[in-house]
Amino acid sequence: MPPRELISAATIAGRVAELGAEIDRRLPAGPLTVVGVLRGAFMFMADLVRAIPREMTCDFLGVRSYGDATVSSGVVEITSDLGAPIAGRHVLLVEDIADTGLTLGYLLDLLRARGPASLHTCVLLAKPAYRHSGAPLDFVGFDAPDAYVVGYGLDAAQLYRNLPGIYALE
């Protein structure tokens, strides 16, 4: 069965524009380092940075949390580290989706230990579980259902990342 559309590309574009303006308004003044979590956040980050009218650098963290399964393994592995130090920088961590919040919590600890001037998080989608996890989310695009979702960068076994909207796998 083909995936069922939950959020259209046009709705995402509208929300990303709002998020960019909100981030610019709320983050401390000064240049930013925007850190995208690969691979799922690549498309969201590409659109989001164009909606934040500020001087910034872009960097990426490679992370593997699920392997090719659709159930969390509970293990976060860094497959590729940042290209530059973040000490003294205002950092915005950009993630595709928070489910248990485990990945985000782990990455926040990792980045905080490097002494950024400030550290904020932005996720495109948040599943219900994150509300019980205590993971601090500063900016959330949409609440997601407790289903496996794909598209707009998110995959199932590396497929569907190129879909322009968000879809539920039936």
Which residue, 33 or 103, is less far from ligand IMP as judged by CB? 103
DSSP state letters, 107-140: HHHHHHTT--SEEEEEEEEE-TTHHHHT---SEE
The partner residues of 77 in beta bridges, in order of sequence, read: 64
Which residue, 47 or 95, is less far from ligand IMP as judged by CB? 95
Which residue, 54 or 64, is less far from ligand IMP as judged by CB? 64
**3-state secondary structure at position 149:** strand
First to last CA, the chain: 7
Examine the residue annotation and report whether 99 is marked as an active-site residue of this protein: yes
Which residue, 11 or 62, is less far from ligand IMP as judged by CB? 62
Catalytic residue of the set 47, 96, 99, 155: 99
Q: How far is the CB of 141 from ligand IMP (least distance, A)?
A: 13
Q: How far is the CB of 59 from ligand IMP (least distance, A)?
A: 17
Site residues, ligand IMP (CB under 6 A): 40, 65-66, 72, 95-104, 148-150, 154
E strands, 22-159, in order: 32-38, 56-64, 77-80, 90-98, 118-126, 139-143, 149-150
Q: How far is the CB of 87 from ligand IMP (least distance, A)?
A: 25
**3-state secondary structure at position 12:** helix
Q: Report the run of H or E that residue 65 belongs to, with start and end.
A: none
Whether 23 contacts 47, CB under 8 Å: no
Q: How far is the CB of 53 from ligand IMP (least distance, A)?
A: 27
Residues that are catalytic:
99
